A and B are shown apart, each in its own frame.
Chain A
C-alpha cells in the first residue's frame, strides 16, 4: 500500500531543552484510519502539529505524498486538514462565512454547493447563519471538522476529536470518520480513549516520551500482545485462593464467586488443563467458564509500563 506520510528520524525540542519528539519514525498508509495513543505530554499533538506545519522541528524529514513538507509546503499543506484539540473559533463570525474562509485559505475557489453538502452531512446546515459563539461545544467541534474538510483534503488529522463530548456525539463522529475513510481520506487521530481506537482504527501506534513504542494493526496488536482471560464461575463462595493454586496467580472477583486466570495464547502450554484439574482436587465445583481477549487499554498500560523500564520495542 502507498504510504502517504513518511516521518524519518524527526526530533523536536521546546526552548532547546525539552525533547518533545525523539528521532521519531512513522509511516502512514494511504486510506487508513490510524490511531495515535499516548498519555498526556507523550508528543501526540506535537507530532501532528509538526506534520501540519504549525510547529517547527529540529531534525529529520517529513514527507506527505512523497513531497517534503518544508520544500514543497504548498502542495503538502493543501493535502492536509486539521481539527485541533481546543475549540478555537472566532466568536463573532457565522458558520457559513467561517467555513468558506477556511476553504479560501487553502487556495480553493469558492464552491458553495460543496460547502452546503458538507454542512448538511455534519448536521450544521440549520446553523449556517448562527454566530460561532452561539453554538454548543459539540456543534463547535463539528464546525472545526467542516473547516478542516472545506478544501477536500486527502489526509485529515483529528487531535482528540471526541475529548469532552457526549456519547451520542462521539458515536456520530465515528460515523463521520468511517464515511470519510470510505471516500478514500486518510485519517490520523490522537485519542485518550482506547475504545475509540478499538472502534474505528485500522492501525494503532503508541507514543510515549516522544518515541513511537509500537505500531501495528489493531487486531494483530491485540492478538500479539494481548493476554487472554479465563473467568471461572464457581458454585460456592471462596475467601482466598488455596495454597496449591498459588502458582497460577489467580484473582478472586464477584465477591468470591469468580476466579480469574490470565494466560498467554502464544505460549506452548496455557496451563488451563492443569488448573482445572487442581480446582477439582481442591473440591471447587465449576459453574461456568468464559474467556475474554484483553483490551487495547490493558495492552497500552503494559506497554507504557515497559517503556518506563526502557524496554522500547522497534
Chain B
C-alpha cells in the first residue's frame, strides 16, 4: 500500500477546500438558513406536526441529506475532473499508485469535506429548531455512509465528464430532482397512493428515511431496507469505478 501517495492525494484535495474556505462553508450555512426561514418558519408554521414532530424539525434530516449528497458529488467529481482538465492527471497515472489508492484519496477527501459541511448544517439547524437526535451513532453512521457513497458516485461522474457541462448535467438533472422527490421536505404518506409507490423507486428516499429515523424514530421505509439500499449503491459505484479506472476509461488512451 502506498500510504504516502494516498496521504498526498488526500491532503492535496483538502488543501483545495482550505483555499476556498469561505465559499465552502458560508454557502451551505446561508442556503440552510434560507430553507429554515422559508420552509421552517414561513410555510412550516402553517403545517401541522408530522408524526408528532414539528415541520421545522422534520425537514432537518432531509436538508442535511440534500446538502451532503450535492456536496459529495460536486467535490468528488470536481476533484478528479480538475486534473483531467489541466492535464495534470499524468502525474497520478505515472505514480506507483493502485486504482484503489487513488479512489480512496479523492473520495476520502470529498467525503470529509461533506461531513464537515454536514456538521455545520446540524449546528446551524440547532439555532432555528430544537434538535433531538435519538440515535446519534446511527446518525453519524448514515452521514459517513452517505458521504462516501455519493462521493464515489461523484467520482464516477468526474471520470465520465469531459467538459464542464457534463460535470453539472447529472447533479442538476437527476440528483436534485431525486432529492426533492425523495421525502426531504415531506413524508410519502402525504402523497396519493400511486405516487407513494413511484417514490419507492427513488433511492434517495431510503437515505432520507433512514437518516430521519436516527433523529426521530420515524421512517417511510424500514431502517434495514435503507441500509441495504445504500450498501448496494456503494458497492455498485465502487465496482464500476475500480473497473473503469483500471481499464483507463476516459483517463488513459
- A contact set with B: CB distance below 8 Å: 14, 49, 52-56, 73-75, 77-78, 80, 82, 84, 86, 88-93, 97, 101-109, 147
Contact = CB atoms under 8 A, between A and B. Distances in A.
Interface stretch (B52-60, B87-95, B152-160): B87-95
Interface of B is mostly: helix
Contacts of B94: 52-54, 77, 80, 82
Contacts of B97: 105, 107
A105 B87 contact: no
17 contacts: A52-B90, A53-B94, A55-B252, A74-B96, A75-B96, A84-B87, A84-B90, A90-B88, A93-B15, A102-B91, A105-B9, A105-B92, A106-B96, A107-B3, A107-B4, A107-B96, A108-B4
Contacts of B253: 14, 55-56
Nearest to B253: A55
A74 B101 CA distance: 12
Interface residues of B, number: 27
B96 A88 contact: no
Given A75-B96, A86-B87, 12 more contacts: A49-B90, A53-B93, A54-B90, A56-B253, A74-B98, A77-B94, A77-B96, A78-B96, A88-B87, A90-B86, A104-B4, A107-B4
Nearest to A78: B96
Contacts, number: 75
A84 B91 CA distance: 9
B2 interface: yes
Q: Which 10 A-B pairs have the closest CB atoms?
A: A104-B8, A105-B95, A88-B87, A77-B96, A74-B96, A107-B2, A52-B94, A78-B96, A54-B93, A107-B4
B5 interface: yes
A5 to B, nearest CB: 15
B79 to A, nearest CB: 12
Contact of B5 (A52, A56, A106): A106
A86 B82 CA distance: 16
Contact of A77 (B3, B9, B86, B95): B95
A106 B87 contact: no
Contacts of A54: 90, 93-94, 252
Nearest to B3: A107
Nearest to A12: B253
Contacts of A147: 91
